[in-house]
Amino acid sequence: MEEQQKYLIVVGGPTAAGKTGMAIALAKHFSTEIISADSRQFYREMKIGNARPSDEELSQVKHHFIADRDLSLPLSAGAFAREALKLLEELYQTQDYAVLVGGSGLFIRALTEGLDEFPAVPEAIRIQVSELFTTAGIAGLQSALLLADPDYYEEVDQQNPSRLQRALEVCWSTGKPYSSFRKGQGNGRSFVPIYLQPSWSREELYRRINLRVSYMVAAGLEEEARQLAPQQKLPALQTVGYQEWWPYFEGEKSKEEVVELIQQNSRRYAKRQLTWNRKDGYWKHIPQGDLHSALAYIQLVTQEGFSLEALPKEEEHDLFHHKENRKRLSIKSLATKEIAGIADLYVLKDWAFVKCWLASSASHLAKTILLHEACHRSEKAVVYLRDGYLPEDFMMANGWVLVPNEALPAVLKNKLPAAEFWQWERGDTI
């Protein structure tokens, strides 16, 4: 008898996007358990500042790696992966699905793909980087990493000195960018990851972040931070939501300034999380964490054997002479790696255009998900599609509004004068 394939549903994305609620809904649907990949929710002493799930949420589904260790026992990404793989091996004895949730991209990657191998760093280099942190602070680390590896600088948590120091150590000891060693060639896994990201407009996401910070302060974040202040040098506490309080306790900032700074740093952190996932290319955006939309993509992966994957763009085929931000998205077979469909997304200043190629092997579900994802990745209010590309009721159910084509943009009309278009605009809920 053929062994049943196992799946890990990964719910990732930016802070305050609703990952916890979405993960619980999926775990309940599949009658399974949740593994947390939030690198700060591991620790018992931290509760408010890292938005740990409430007691009511924890009671709905069994969670793992939530408040299960002390701050004095830090858990690295590699160690987390080893522990989580053992847990998954046990879960998969009776389950075909498990749910992984968290915003820590490195921890998610460690579990789903494995980590790249880095060269050993001489002690002299470690001391040099440590001295830079001592003399110039986190700003000095940021400036040095920006110079040594601008690509990694864009996606790293720039408020995490441990990550900055580690990257600088590799850069300075090898003379090569830290990102050049991150080839994504991790160990094979016995399960298939399914990557889902709750999706909101940037404005709505920032509103949710600001509101969450206000709730945290009302719930006693200041007192929690005050209790942890004696341990502020621990890596886990050098993070957004806690480190902003240290100057306040020294009388250097007002409480209002601290709250505003936490909100600002949280928004910056969310932007880096989005950048991290965007570079991966395989995340399915789920509007507002909608369960039905998530289940549709899970069905595509588990029943039809296809998943999303970004492709490099073909420069010679650019439609608007390099004025656009070109993205290519594909639907690919998990078994054969055969591409069943490609959506070319042309993102211009005020609107986006999607054109598509589909093989005969692409089902209606594959076609719908591919183009729906392309629309959401545009992050534009207006997207033009060829006539009949997506079902009208599907688009409307996902927050899009069909509007009359009163006047096509001139560049689009000139390039494709014979085409019939649907013009879609994002509704207020997206």
Q: What is the SS3 assignment for 99?
A: strand
Averaged pLDDT, 287-313? 93
- Predicted pLDDT at 304: 96
Burial 335-374 (b: 16+ CB within 10 A, else e): eeeebbbbbbbbbbeebbbbbbebeeebbebbbbbbbbbb
Tell me the two tokens of residue 188.
């094979």
Q: How confident is the model at residue 50 (pLDDT cuts 50, 70, 90)?
A: very high
Given a cut of 70, whether residue 187 has pLDDT beyond it is no
Q: How many other C-beta atoms can be found within 10 angstroms of the C-beta atom of residue 316?
A: 5
Q: Is residue 259 part of a domain?
A: no
- Tell whether 175 and 156 lie within a shared domain: yes
> DSSP code of 185?
-
Number of domains present in the structure of the chain: 3
Q: How confident is the model at residue 317 (pLDDT cuts 50, 70, 90)?
A: low
- Tell whether 136 and 98 lie within a shared domain: no
Q: Is residue 73 part of a domain?
A: yes
Q: Name which of 403, 424, 104 is nearest 235 in CA terms.
A: 104
Using alpha carbons, list the distances in angstroms from residue 128 to 131, 144, 292, 375. Answer: 5, 12, 52, 47
* Residue linked to tokens 């709505």: 204
Using alpha carbons, list the distances in angstroms from residue 133 to 50, 139, 193. Answer: 25, 8, 37
Mean pLDDT of the chain: 88
- Tell whether 402 and 374 lie within a shared domain: yes
pLDDT in tens, 82-138: 999 999 999 999 999 999 999 998 899 999 998 877 888 999 999 999 999 999 999
Q: Is residue 337 part of a domain?
A: yes
Q: How many other C-beta atoms can be found within 10 angstroms of the C-beta atom of residue 287?
A: 21
- Predicted pLDDT at 426: 66
What is the share, in percent, of the chain residues with pLDDT greater than 90? 59
Domain span at 165: 123-181
Burial 22-56 (b: 16+ CB within 10 A, else e): bbbbbbeebebbbbbbbbbbbbebbbbbbbbbeee
- Predicted pLDDT at 131: 93
CATH at residue 100: 3.40.50.300
Contact 200, 14 (CB under 8 A): no
- Predicted pLDDT at 430: 33
Helix (H) or strand (E) holding 202: helix 202-218
- Tell whether 35 and 90 lie within a shared domain: yes
Averaged pLDDT, 201-221? 96
Averaged pLDDT, 227-241? 93
Helix (H) or strand (E) holding 330: strand 325-333
Given a cut of 80, whether residue 214 has pLDDT beyond it is yes
- Tell whether 49 and 145 lie within a shared domain: no
Q: Is residue 275 part of a domain?
A: yes
The per-type count for the chain, helices as H runs and strands as E runs, is: 15, 13
Q: Is residue 217 part of a domain?
A: no
In this predicted structure, which of 66-75, 120-129, 214-223, 321-330 has the lowest mean pLDDT? 321-330
CATH at residue 156: 1.10.20.140
User: Residue 258 class from Cβ within 10 Å (0-12 exposed, 13-18 middle, 19+ buried)?
Assistant: buried
- Tell whether 333 and 381 lie within a shared domain: yes
- Tell whether 156 and 190 lie within a shared domain: no
- Tell whether 28 and 172 lie within a shared domain: no
Calpha distance 377→399 (Å, rounded): 14
User: pTM here?
Assistant: 0.84
Length of the chain: 430
Q: What is the amino acid identity at position 45?
A: E
- Tell whether 136 and 60 lie within a shared domain: no
Q: Name which of 214, 11, 258, 255 is nearest 111 in CA terms.
A: 11
- Tell whether 419 and 311 lie within a shared domain: yes
- Predicted pLDDT at 191: 96
Q: How many other C-beta atoms can be found within 10 angstroms of the C-beta atom of residue 419?
A: 15
Q: Which of 224, 245, 280 is a domain's end point?
A: 280
Residues 6+ apart with CB under 8 A from 184: 113, 116
Given a cut of 60, whether residue 311 has pLDDT beyond it is yes
> DSSP code of 180?
G
Q: Is residue 312 part of a domain?
A: yes
* Residue linked to tokens 């996007």: 17
Residues 6+ apart with CB under 8 A from 32: 91, 95, 97, 98, 99
Q: How confident is the model at residue 367 (pLDDT cuts 50, 70, 90)?
A: confident
Q: Is residue 242 part of a domain?
A: no
- Tell whether 153 and 270 lie within a shared domain: no
**Phi and psi torsions of 300, nearest 5°:** -60, -40
Given a cut of 80, whether residue 186 has pLDDT beyond it is no
pLDDT in tens, 390-420: 667 767 766 677 777 667 777 777 776 555 6
- Tell whether 45 and 97 lie within a shared domain: yes
Q: How confident is the model at residue 386 (pLDDT cuts 50, 70, 90)?
A: low
Q: Is residue 349 part of a domain?
A: yes
- Predicted pLDDT at 428: 42
Q: How many other C-beta atoms can be found within 10 angstroms of the C-beta atom of residue 329?
A: 22
Give Cα 312 distance to the centre of its chain.
20
DSSP percent split of the chain into helix, strand, coil, nearest 5: 45, 20, 35
Please report the DSSP string for 249-318 in residue order: HTTSS-HHHHHHHHHHHHHHHHHHHHHHHHHH--PEEEETT-HHHHHHHHHHHHHH-EEEEEE---GGG-
